[in-house]
Amino acid sequence: VCICALLERQYDVRLAGVATEDRPAGRVPLSELNTDLETLAEFGGGVAGITRVAWSDALDSANRWLMHRGRGVGLDVSTDPAGNVFVGRPGSGTQGVLLGSHVDTVPNGGRYDGALGVLGALHAMRALGDDVAKRAGRIAVAAFMDEEGTRFGTDLFGSRAFVGDDLTELAGRVDREGVTLTEAMAERGYAFAELGGAAAVTEYGCYLELHIEQGPVLEEAGADVGIVTAIVGLLGLQVEMTGEANHAGTTPMHLRRDALAGGARAIGELRDLALAEAGITANVGTILVEPGGKNVVPGVCRFTVDVRAANPEAFAQLDHRVRTILLRIAGEEGLTVNVEELYRLEPLTFDAGLVDVVEASAMDETTACMRLPSGAGHDAMVVGRHIPTAMVFVPSRGGISHSPFEYTEPAHCDLGARVLARTIGRVLA
């Protein structure tokens, strides 16, 4: 039984229905997109959602299926030393068109985040007329490795390797089981030392990414398509607070050095910081306590902090502001604190000319479109520092994402892919 059927039964929701009669007739034949989204969702699918983290069996199987699918529609497929998958038409020169997104997911994620961008681009490519396709020279859709960074805190890993960033310092990152990134890559036949060979952004003249909005703005505005203008900056930190494990009953309250009490205060204060200022978000999404006994005062508390801001000045101050809070709380609780940066991606404003082209292409399909910034990180924010880049958003029901309840109407998935196809056509005109 497929995951969607199970979830539908369990939660009484419609996660994947494709009402064929809703499909616009006589348009470019994109309806296979929704069938493909359902198929991809089966890799790593379980009752609680879809889990395809970096370098896992589930992601590997999904990538293999994607390559099989690409070959099946007559496209070339390849991988690079970072585990990125490319499906497209080879060509020479430096002005190729790159489309893409990712097929890795967060733990218990949904079926559209990343997947729509990859499969939508695949079908948009197929929908291009032969004359347009020929003009493209090189054209490819990239499924970038480890966009989510779930396992090693290595967010946007594949796209960073693709643009030639030096990732050397990530080699020794460990997952929860103590496996290093280098080991995890080796298990899949990849050598960390060869990552430099993935740098290939100079072969392309522009990058376009289709994605679900992952927020409520389009739905609330009644818009069918979003034209993305900018992406927030993201800062990820790994924090370790250390106190002293001791007996929960015999240690007087005022003598405890409770690491989790420090962590709990930090969670609250970071939340208050973000609540007090529009344009800032703060999230503590993972937490581990040692030694982890109900009658033991926590000696160590490890947690991640993800803070974001769209405004470059606000973003520049975030690191200092977060560390100040952590240090003060640690001092007050008698703890030591160690902070390690996991990722830092500056806010990015997209290429104005390409954003105009996306808007004109969207307007060809619907007047119900609007410009908006993205609060989520995307591979586009990495690639967009090197070549003109823009993004197309389609609505997320209820603004839900990073959840098995993520849902985007089949008609909206198709619409997004059509806007992508039209944009490619205009870029190449």
CB 283, min distance to ligand HGY, A: 9
Nearer to ligand HGY, 31 or 401 (CB): 401
Task: Identify residues 150-179 at the interface with ligand HGY (CB under 6 A).
Answer: 155
252: which residues sit within 8 A by CB, 6+ positions away?
none
- Is 376 a residue that touches ligand HGY (CB under 6 A)? yes
Contacted entry of ligand HGY, Mn ion, none for residue 391, CB cut-off 5 to 8 Å set by kind: none
Give the separation between CA 407 and CA 267, rounded to whole angstroms: 29
Told to check if 147 binds ligand HGY by CB under 6 A, we report yes
112: three-class secondary structure by DSSP: coil
Cβ at position 318, least distance to ligand HGY in Å: 15
Check if the beta carbon of residue 171 is closer than 8 Å to that of residue 354.
no
Q: CA of 339: how far to CAs of 100, 202, 279, in Å?
A: 33, 35, 24
- CA-closest candidate to residue 410, choices 218, 212, 124, 222: 212
146 binds, among Mn ion, ligand HGY, none (CB under 5 to 8 A by kind): none
CA distance 318 to 332: 21
Asked if 379 is part of the footprint of ligand HGY (rule: CB under 6 A), the reply reads no
* Partner from ligand HGY, Mn ion, none binding residue 377, C-beta < 5-8 Å depending on class: ligand HGY
Q: Looking at beta carbons only, is 155 or 224 nearer to ligand HGY?
A: 155
Q: Tell the smallest beta-carbon distance from residue 53 to ligand HGY (Å).
A: 12
Rounded to whole angstroms, the Cα distance separating 141 from 70 reads: 10
- Min separation Cβ 420 and ligand HGY, Å: 19
What whole-number distance in Å separates Cα of residue 141 and Cα of residue 163? 15
Is residue 347 part of the contact set for ligand HGY (CB under 6 A)?
Answer: no
Taking CB under 6 A as the rule, does residue 82 contact ligand HGY? no
Say how far apart CA 273 and CA 266 lie, in whole Å. Answer: 10
The partner in contact with residue 88, picked from ligand HGY, Mn ion, none with C-beta cut-offs of 5 to 8 angstroms by kind, is none
Number of residues forming the site for Mn ion (CB under 5 A)? 2
**Least CB distance from residue 155 to ligand HGY, whole Å?**
6
| Residue 31 vs 56, nearer CB to ligand HGY | 56
Dihedral sign (CA 412, 414, 415, 419): positive
* Residue 149 interacts with Mn ion (CB under 5 A): yes or no: no
**Phi, psi (deg, nearest 5) at residue 344:** -145, 115
CA–CA dist 33, 7 (Å, integer): 21
122 phi and psi angles, rounded to 5 deg: -60, -45
Tell me which residues in 104-123 interact with Mn ion (CB under 5 A).
113-114
- In this complex, which beta carbon is closest to ligand HGY, that of residue 104 or of residue 409? 104
Tell me how far CA of residue 46 lies from CA of 49, 118, 285, 397, in angstroms: 5, 21, 21, 21
Does residue 148 interact with ligand HGY by CB under 6 A? yes
The whole-angstrom separation of Cα 39 and Cα 66 is: 10
**Distance (Å) of CA 366 to CA 222, 355, 362:** 12, 16, 6
Q: Which stretch binds ligand HGY (CB under 6 A): 26-34, 65-73, 147-155, 177-185?
A: 147-155
Closest separation in Å from C-beta 69 to ligand HGY: 23
> 3-class SS at 37?
helix
CB 130 to ligand HGY: min, Å: 35
> Among residues 170 and 376, whose Cβ is nearest to Mn ion?
376
Closest contact distance (angstroms) between CB of 98 and Mn ion is: 16
Which of ligand HGY, Mn ion, none has residue 333 at its interface (CB below 5 to 8 Å by kind)? none
CB of 147 to ligand HGY, least distance (A): 5
**β-bridge partners, 180:** 174
Residues touching ligand HGY: how many (CB under 6 A)?
5
- Taking CB under 6 A as the rule, does residue 377 contact ligand HGY? yes
Which residue from 339, 337, 335, 338 is spatially nearest to 297, judged by alpha carbons?
335
* Contact assessment for residue 67 and residue 87, using Cβ atoms and an 8 Å cutoff: yes
**Residue 303, SS3 per DSSP:** strand
Return the number of the residue (49 or 114) whose C-beta is nearest Mn ion. 114
Say which DSSP state 389 is in. E
Residue 148 C-beta: closest distance to ligand HGY, Å? 5
By CB under 6 A, name the binding residues for ligand HGY. 147-148, 155, 376-377
By CB under 5 A, name the binding residues for Mn ion. 113-114
